[in-house]
């Protein structure tokens, strides 16, 4: 038969000998949704043929999941901390954008009076934040690559870390920044220029 995993992906496929012998273990394949009736039937059959031994069972998917319990826990922890990091970064961007828009209220009013359109004013305000987000991503890429490679070394069979993962992450970071900063920029750029010029 073809090679198959008898353990987890942490270790390579090892040579294996399979022999047919008498034993007290049986593998059963069943249709989904029939677990209670299958278990009842198996228990009755077991008691009939092996009355001296207790009926014990486990599911293959649970056994496989136990191989990767640590990875699941780490994944959940990373998900929580990543969510917190995005929330904190979003709040920080929101605060910086609000401060920047307030500092440039008079400039926005003058530009609008001189004929600047709302999209160009939004672009003016968003551009500096986008540059910082892109710079932060470029700095983070080598660190993320190093951590990812170190973690993947725990597996005998692993995927390659290509640029796609980093580009998607950068795109999401950029999207969060644009949504956060874009709203405040739009609000400032679409304000009445008379009110802006009266500021200060």
Chain segment 40-94, per-residue pLDDT in tens: 999 998 888 888 888 888 888 888 788 788 888 888 998 899 889 888 887 887 8
Cα torsion 77, 81, 82, 85 to 10°: value is 180
Contact 189, 125 (CB under 8 A): yes
**Whole-number Å distance between alpha carbons of 7 and 86:** 36
The DSSP secondary structure of 22-77, one letter per residue, reads --S-------TT-HHHHHHHHHHHHHHH-TTS------HHHHHHHHTHHHHHHHHH
Look at the pTM and tell me if it is higher than 0.75. Answer: no
The residue ranges of every structural domain in the chain are 1-67, 69-198
Tokens at 180, concatenated: 């956060």
d(CA 152, CA 150): 6
Q: What is the CA radius of gyration of the chain?
A: 30
- What was the pLDDT predicted at 195? 62
Using 50 as the pLDDT threshold, list the residues of the chain that sit under it: 199
| CA 196/CA 97 separation, integer angstroms | 17
């Amino acid at each position: 038969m073809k090679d198959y995993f008898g353990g987890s992906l942490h270790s390579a496929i090892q040579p294996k000998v399979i022999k047919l012998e008498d034993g007290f273990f049986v593998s059963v394949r069943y249709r989904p949704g029939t677990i209670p009736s299958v278990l009842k039937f198996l228990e009755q059959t077991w008691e009939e043929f092996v009355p001296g031994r207790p009926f014990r069972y486990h599911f293959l998917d649970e056994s496989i999941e136990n191989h990767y319990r640590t990875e699941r826990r780490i994944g959940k922890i990373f998900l929580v901390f990543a969510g917190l990091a995005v929330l904190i970064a979003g709040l920080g961007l929101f605060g910086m954008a609000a401060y920047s828009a307030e500092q440039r209220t008079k400039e926005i009013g003058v530009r609008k009076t001189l004929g600047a359109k709302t999209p160009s004013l939004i672009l003016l305000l968003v551009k500096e934040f986008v540059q910082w987000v892109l710079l932060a991503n470029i700095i983070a890429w080598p660190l993320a690559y190093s951590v990812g490679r170190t973690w993947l070394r725990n597996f005998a069979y692993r995927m390659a870390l290509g640029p796609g993962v980093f580009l998607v992450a950068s795109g999401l970071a950029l999207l969060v920044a644009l949504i956060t900063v874009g709203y405040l920029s739009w609000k400032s750029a679409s304000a009445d220029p008379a009110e802006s010029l009266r500021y200060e």
